[in-house]
Amino acid sequence: MRILKELCALPTVPFEEGRVVEWVEGFVRGRPRLRVERDEWGNVLVELKGKKNGGPRWVFGAHIDHPGMVAKGMVDRRIVEAEFRGWVLVELVMGAKVRFFEESGREVAGKVIQATAGEDGGRTASVRVRVGEAVAPGAIGMWDVENAVLKGGKFYARACDDVAGAAAALSMMDELRRDPPTATVAVLLTRAEEEGFIGAIGAAKRPRLLRKTDRIVSIETSAMQAYTPQGAGPIIRVGDKTSVFDSGLTCFLTQQAEALKKRSKGFAYQRALMPGGTCEATVYDAYGFMAAAICVALGNYHNMDRQGKRIGAEYVDVGDWKSMVRLFVAIARHGHEYREGHGALRERIEARFAKLKRLL
Ligand SMILES: [Zn+2]
């Protein structure tokens, strides 16, 4: 929980993820078995060597940016112009409170007084914010809403998508490092997902951090659907708005979740196609990697409180998030048992065939 609280409290927007990266580097420094590596695009890979090296690796991927603003300059003494990055409906942002974070640590609060839509008409492209004092160009602006607050079993923050996913993956690493699993496990933290998977495309196109033999689990917080409520456990995401994921790998994740449910009380999970957005598994799949996905249901997706018609804190269910970490740990510990394709499934159904074929 400490990892979740600390990570989600950091300011981050697409292409300006430096504070999260810094935090992750500190996390790794304090944990000698972990190793950190970066590629030319600034994506970060944290790795824990398995007890039996050489087999395929398990990579849990999450993006570390979130929709928000970058200050461009002062229009006059009290108004700053900021570029908006990521997808947020323009009709919700007027009057919303903003907080700018300068490199120096100085923070300036303000309020949106003008919002301009992008070419598609719905998306916020730029805003003007009334502020108490001047804001330095380049400062990160985020919605000034409840941040890293626990209330009634929910966790509210400026940014859950997808720093809460990254926090879950790092929490898994924190647990695994005490007794490393058989297979090597890594966490890939990517940049600028909210501007169209830019970091993930870089990571997949000419891979330096990824290997073609990796088994990738893409993590997300995904807009909750009527059939995947919060509180009913993490979701094995069989697909997203754009594509469906590796069938054999998804089946293995489901088996692990089922086994975990049988052996531990209080663990529940869901399995569904989450069409609220496209996730990085689609990118990895497009570049020939083996990818599946797991997510938790997210409230106020991209800070859009559509019922209240205003900007609000994103939120996840704490039980779902904790169960997601438990599921990651179980997958990592049993990862070496996975046989590519549907090996285990075929064995099972063929045994049944052998037994009953005489009746055909
Ligand atoms: Zn996301």
**Residue 38 confidence (pLDDT):** 97
Asked whether residue 158 falls in the same domain as residue 283, the answer is yes
Asked whether residue 181 falls in the same domain as residue 310, the answer is yes
- Token pair of 29 as six digits: 């420094």
Asked whether residue 126 falls in the same domain as residue 54, the answer is no
Q: What is the CATH number of the domain that holds 260?
A: 3.40.630.10
Instruction: Give the relative orientation of helices 318-334 and 247-263 as an angle to the nearest 10 degrees.
Output: 110
Asked whether residue 174 falls in the same domain as residue 279, the answer is yes
Asked whether residue 43 falls in the same domain as residue 99, the answer is no
Rounded to 5 degrees, φ, ψ at 150 are -100, 130
Total-model pTM: 0.96
pLDDT band of residue 54 (cuts 50, 70, 90) is confident
Considering Cα of 123, then 125, then 131, then 133, what sign does the dihedral take?
positive
The residue type at 357: K
pLDDT of 343 strictly over 90: no
Q: What is the CATH number of the domain that holds 79?
A: 2.40.30.40
The residues whose Cβ lies within 5 A of ligand 1, an ion, are 161-162
CB 240 within 8 A of CB 278: yes
Separation of alpha carbons 92 and 89, rounded Å: 6
Q: Is 358 within a domain?
A: no
Asked whether residue 279 falls in the same domain as residue 135, the answer is no
Average pLDDT over the chain, rounded to an integer: 96
Q: Is 229 within a domain?
A: yes
pLDDT band of residue 121 (cuts 50, 70, 90) is confident
Mean pLDDT in residue range 175-189: 97
Q: Is 348 within a domain?
A: no
Q: Is 286 within a domain?
A: yes
pLDDT of 340 strictly over 90: no
Q: Is 350 within a domain?
A: no
**Residue 265 confidence (pLDDT):** 87
Helix H or strand E encompassing 345 = helix 343-356
**CA 76 to ligand 1 centroid distance, Å:** 34
**CA 166 to ligand 1 centroid distance, Å:** 10
CB 119 within 8 A of CB 112: no
Task: Lowest mean pLDDT of 72-76, 174-178, 274-278, 327-331, name the range.
Answer: 274-278
Asked whether residue 257 falls in the same domain as residue 333, the answer is yes
Considering Cα of 238, then 6, then 68, then 283, what sign does the dihedral take?
negative
pLDDT of 53 strictly over 80: no
pLDDT band of residue 120 (cuts 50, 70, 90) is confident
Q: How many CB atoms lie within 10 A of CB 108?
A: 20
Residue after which a domain boundary falls, among 143, 174, 189:
143
Asked whether residue 209 falls in the same domain as residue 275, the answer is yes
Separation of alpha carbons 124 and 138, rounded Å: 18
**CA 161 to ligand 1 centroid distance, Å:** 5
**Residue 270 confidence (pLDDT):** 98
Q: Is 349 within a domain?
A: no
Asked whether residue 85 falls in the same domain as residue 168, the answer is no
pLDDT of 24 strictly over 90: yes
Mean pLDDT in residue range 261-280: 94
> How far, CA to CA in Å, does 134 sit from each of 74, 106, 110?
7, 11, 10
Helix, strand, or coil (residue 226): coil
- Going by C-alpha positions, the residue among 135, 125, 157 that lies closest to residue 144 is 157
Asked whether residue 104 falls in the same domain as residue 244, the answer is no
Task: Lowest mean pLDDT of 64-73, 201-210, 335-344, name the range.
Answer: 335-344
Asked whether residue 97 falls in the same domain as residue 246, the answer is no
**CA 193 to ligand 1 centroid distance, Å:** 7
Torsion of CA 132, 157, 308, 142, to 10 degrees: 30
Residue after which a domain boundary falls, among 124, 143, 162:
143
> How many domains, in total, are found in the chain?
2
Q: Is 359 within a domain?
A: no
**CA 162 to ligand 1 centroid distance, Å:** 5
How are the residues of the chain apportioned to helix, strand and coil, as percentages rounded to the nearest 5? 30, 30, 35
**CA 259 to ligand 1 centroid distance, Å:** 28
pLDDT of 262 strictly over 80: yes
Tell me how far apart the terminal alpha carbons of the chain are, to the nearest angstrom: 56
Asked whether residue 259 falls in the same domain as residue 131, the answer is no
Q: How many CB atoms lie within 10 A of CB 74?
A: 16
Residue after which a domain boundary falls, among 121, 143, 165:
143
> How far, CA to CA in Å, does 274 sit from each of 56, 98, 135, 333?
27, 30, 39, 26
Q: Which domain holds residue 115?
A: 68-143
**CA 220 to ligand 1 centroid distance, Å:** 6
**CA 167 to ligand 1 centroid distance, Å:** 13
Residue that is written with structure tokens 């490393």 in the block: 180
DSSP track, 298-332 = EBSGGGEETTTTEE--EEEEHHHHHHHHHHHHHHH
- Token pair of 353 as six digits: 């065939």
